[in-house]
Amino acid sequence: MIKKSFLSIALLAIMASCSKDTELVEIAGGNLSVEFDNVMGNQDFALDKPFDVNGKTYTFDSFRYWVSNIRLQKQNGEWIEIPNSYYLIEETKDIAIQDGAYTYPARKREQIDLNNLPLDTYTAIEFGIGVDSELNDNLSMTAGELSAMTGMTNISWMWHTSYIFSSLKGMAEDGTTKVVKIETGLNDNYRKVKIDLKSPINLGETTPSKIELKSDVLTLLQSFDSWEVPVVGAQQQDQMKAIADNFSAKFFTLK
């Protein structure tokens, strides 16, 4: 019995030692920030700031869009998917939610932080603009920052509530004043964006890395005649598609 007891104690000690060793040799993941620097041509984008666009003066009080389903490409060509990666990039004032029952507070957010990534060398990043159909068609499903409480949902586009993918709101003036409300949504307008990095990023254990993108709002206004059609929703499908296409082709450039 004494021998058996000693054996049991020895086994427990070895197991505890192995457990401790495993914790000690665990490798921490790498950290990567992605910046979406919103600009208007060669100017920094800001709320309530007048911008001249084709001889018209535009001012904005809100600009928001979803970045989703982020992937990173390794140097060997393999892709690493970031789970639950749904982020709202925005510059907005207070937003009344549910007929004023709640208030979404004013916020400026141009950067997302991805943590505990596999330590490797990466050559490209890919992400979606908007929300993929699986979650867009069912708001009861949650992931990342997706929530009906952000004020980025719409019940007038389809028979069921879906997400607004991007939203640009403000005023345009040229002797007369027009309300600007340019929004995208609907599954057909979900777009993916791939950015090839100028040089590979080697994620280290202690040194954070950063990808800096320039996001040009002017390219969206130039997708169509935004003076003649200052309000874009589901009824303006051609303009909505043009904006979605511009998000994937012209809106983002690597700094």
SS3 19: helix
pLDDT digits (tens, 9 = 90+) for 24-53: 333 458 999 999 999 999 999 999 999 999
- From 93, 190, 194, 87, select the one nearest 145 (Cα to Cα): 87
The residue ranges of every structural domain in the chain are: 30-254
What lies within 8 Å, CB to CB, of 45 at 6+ separation is 38, 39, 60, 63, 91, 217
What lies within 8 Å, CB to CB, of 78 at 6+ separation is none
Indicate the pTM of the whole model: 0.86
Give the pLDDT score at 8: 41
Check if the beta carbon of residue 103 is closer than 8 Å to that of residue 51. no
Check if the beta carbon of residue 42 is closer than 8 Å to that of residue 214. no
pLDDT value at 225 more than 60: yes
- In which band, very low, low, confident or very high, does the pLDDT at 158 lie, cut at 50, 70 and 90? low
SS3 25: helix
